[in-house]
Amino acid sequence: MALSLSNNYKDSASIHLKKESRVKSISLNDIFSRIGKPVKSAELMFFCSHLSLMFEIKTPLNQALKTIENQTQNAAFKKVIQSMTKDVEEGRQLSDAMKRHPRFFNTMFTSMVKAGENGGFLHVVLEKIVEMQEKRQRLISQIKSALTYPAFLCILGFLAIIFIMVSVLPKFTGLFEGKESVLPFTTLCLMNGSSFLRSYWWLCILSCGGLLTGIKIFKDSKHGKALIEWFLVSGPLVSNLCTKIYTNELLRILGNLIESKVSFIEALEVTRGTIRNSYFRDFIDKTIKHMENGGKFSDQFVHFPYIMESVKQMVVTGEDTGNLSTAMLRLNKHYDLEIEQDLKKLTALIEPAALVVMGAVIGIIVSSIILPMFKLSQVIG
């Protein structure tokens, strides 16, 4: 009896140790996946284009993945490709292997790959994914370039103002003391501001930090996101450009998914996950429900207020003639060019406006120092 209990205890301990070891292994893998550097868009495009090329020259999938793995520098992505190679060698499809790594391959990616596998045109789908990623990166680069120079000017102007307030203005404070009655209002404000900034600089830093933190918390909150999303589709100056960008993204993703033989409902669900505006996501939800009840895609599309009328007409015609994906991708090419032109125009407007504003602010500060000196010289004279 004692021997039996001892054996049972050993078996139980062995099972417990195995479970504990497994839990530790899972935890370590989970930690690695969380701290691992996600794949960059350029690395993903390299993966797709090379995999497509190897399919064209009839390279076996597992060998193609091993070749790409040897050329990959990103350690986290290399580990993902190793895992995918093992899954493929065990008999899984490439799309199923990708689904196990959602941080690297999103639902749009895996849905298109699965459709390509089922239809026998995987290398074509991979080239489409590369093209979509290139367009997306081009748009991001255009937006960044449109905002970088104005942001640089604002930061430079802010630093110049701080320098004048802290280092330049205090040198004139002694000259202006006791003569406040003849000093302009702007000069008095600058003198008080300079004194406060030098005496309570720590409070200014804390206030700026608190303000930035508050803005971030509000931006990430439910009401903050709702306000930002509303402003992007309905606010002045930006709504026209933003609705074009959202519409173009919808046309590009949905058009490519439909052309890749992904089912319409699944294509809409995948597209919904890639659009970052709640108004467009709600529209897609309503469209899915409408189509599940037997309705047409264009029935909901024509009533959505944040899509241009010309797009609505083309989509209706495309659906009626059975060429919806072709119509969407043609519109996508057209609006790619139009958005690029709009961003160039926006940059051309923002840059001089930022220069004028910064010049005006610095001009007011400098004049607030120089003009009182002329007045004092006249009084003394």
Report pLDDT digits (tens) over 317-335: 998 898 998 999 999 989 9
CB neighbours of residue 218 within 10 Å: 13
pLDDT value of residue 381: 52
**What does residue 370 show for φ and ψ, rounded to 5 degrees?**
-75, -45
Ordered mean pLDDT values, 10 residues apiece, the chain (381 residues): 40 41 38 52 86 86 89 88 90 89 85 82 83 84 83 83 82 72 78 85 90 91 90 87 90 88 86 86 92 89 88 90 90 89 84 82 80 69 52
pLDDT value of residue 378: 65
CB 311 within 8 A of CB 331: yes
Helix residue ranges per DSSP H, the chain: 2-35, 41-56, 61-71, 75-89, 94-99, 107-119, 122-163, 170-176, 185-199, 201-220, 222-234, 239-259, 264-274, 278-292, 297-301, 309-321, 324-380
275-313 pLDDT, tens per residue?
Answer: 888 899 999 999 999 999 988 898 888 889 998 888 898
pLDDT value of residue 59: 87
CA atoms within 13 A on the CB side of 208: 8
pLDDT value of residue 30: 43
pLDDT value of residue 174: 72
d(CA 216, CA 219): 5
CB 283 within 8 A of CB 263: no
pLDDT value of residue 288: 92
Domain boundaries, the chain: 22-105, 131-381
d(CA 142, CA 340): 7
- Give the pair of three-digit tokens for residue 244: 């074009």
CB neighbours of residue 309 within 10 Å: 8
pLDDT value of residue 43: 86
pTM of the model: 0.73
